[in-house]
Amino acid sequence: MSERLVVFTERDEGPVPGLDVELIRQNGGTTRYGRAVDERDRIRLAEHAEVIVAGGTPLTRELFSALPDLKGVVRLGIGVDSVDLDAATELGIVVANVPDFCAEEVAEHALGLIFAVTRKIALADRKSRRGEWVPGMDAVMRPIRRLSGQTLGLVGLGKIGRSLARKAQGLGLKVIAHDPHLSAEAAQAAGVPLLSLEELLPQTDILSLHVPTTAETKGMVNTRTLARLKPGAILINTARGPVVDEAALAAALASGRLAGAGLDVLQQEPLRLPHPLAEFENVVFTCHYASMSEESYASMRRQVSEQTVQILRGEFPLHLVNPRVKDLPQCRLQRDNR
């Protein structure tokens, strides 16, 4: 076919940050957008596509198997937990992401949630809007502790974790981290002691999560984990909802073991009421937008479009997340070059 098709199947208007349609056109690509109602509809929309630009919709083995022309997937973001990577690799499909477009934004958002929870800013705002002008020393606002001098425990010390560490250290927090995939030398360069999770939890006043959803991390914040934290600690999650066992979190909040939580992500999104965690005044929710800024979305648009063009040209994308596919004879990207 003469048409080199690039598709997005989650909105009629295309992805929120947009694509550089002109760049794609100059490299022989045509864009198609549509809102698929189910996987069968997604397969129909993506028929003959060489590249799928993917948001958060699951991309399965069945979908990949039904699209013989598909060469690559480019994720709009960092996480690839919605993509069946094993299936993509086995079928010779390259998968790329944008790993560094929003490190500053997510770190800033995590810091904002820390302030919102520890200073009870969201609670004070709600009460003030209802005309309940609560004096600062009123029991409903206590306890509030000075942030400086507290210990921030980071689970995950990648780009986002390191950015948050720098900001937190500037505010006088002590920062420690757990990251089994990071070398001690890299942690030392960031000025953050690297500990086991068992060592980190009892020292932590504020636990902030910065890991993807994997078999290793799913449900890692659970009853046992929360019980190991300092009494009165708070939890911040700007990573992925499935990392936290929400029933265990609700129980820890109800018992008073935890002093609060700031959550940008949930196990099921969007937040649907009634929800057990929504009953707690000391929980602050935001709607999975920690990565958002004009600057980060411009970077995402550029990097997604450029990697889409690389795939159309038969080149491996810059941020390939399944590099094993390069060595496989069934690699579709190299199929036309043999």
* Ordered structural domains, the chain, with CATH: 4-101+294-337 (3.40.50.720), 103-285 (3.40.50.720)
> What percentage of the chain reaches a pLDDT higher than 90?
93
For residue 30, pLDDT beyond 80: yes
Whether residue 244 contacts residue 209, with contact meaning beta carbons closer than 8 Å, is answered with yes
Give the CA-trace dihedral at 53, 319, 269, 111, to 10 degrees: -140
Compute φ and ψ for 330, nearest 5 degrees.
-85, 5
- Establish whether 50 is a catalytic residue: no
Q: Which residue in 75, 162, 210, 288 is the catalytic one?
A: 288
For residue 195, pLDDT beyond 70: yes
Crossing angle between the packed helical segments 103-118 and 121-129, to the nearest 10 degrees: 60
DSSP tag of 175:
E
pLDDT, average across residues 64-83:
96
Q: Which residue in 3, 132, 269, 315 is the catalytic one?
A: 269
Neighbour count for residue 309 (Cβ, 10 Å): 21
Whether residue 178 contacts residue 154, with contact meaning beta carbons closer than 8 Å, is answered with yes
Residue 170's nearest CA partner among 195, 143, 152 is 152
Helices (H), the chain: 21-26, 39-45, 61-65, 85-90, 103-118, 121-129, 159-170, 184-189, 197-200, 223-228, 246-255, 294-312
> What percentage of the chain reaches a pLDDT higher than 70?
98
User: Which residue is listed with tokens 């990697």?
Assistant: 307
Whether residue 258 contacts residue 249, with contact meaning beta carbons closer than 8 Å, is answered with yes
Q: What is the C-alpha separation between 246 and 202, in angstroms, rounded? A: 20
**pLDDT reported for residue 1:** 44
For residue 165, pLDDT beyond 90: yes
- Establish whether 105 is a catalytic residue: no
pLDDT, average across residues 242-257:
98
Q: Which residue in 240, 301, 319, 332 is the catalytic one?
A: 240
Structure tokens at 141: 């606002």
**pLDDT reported for residue 211:** 96
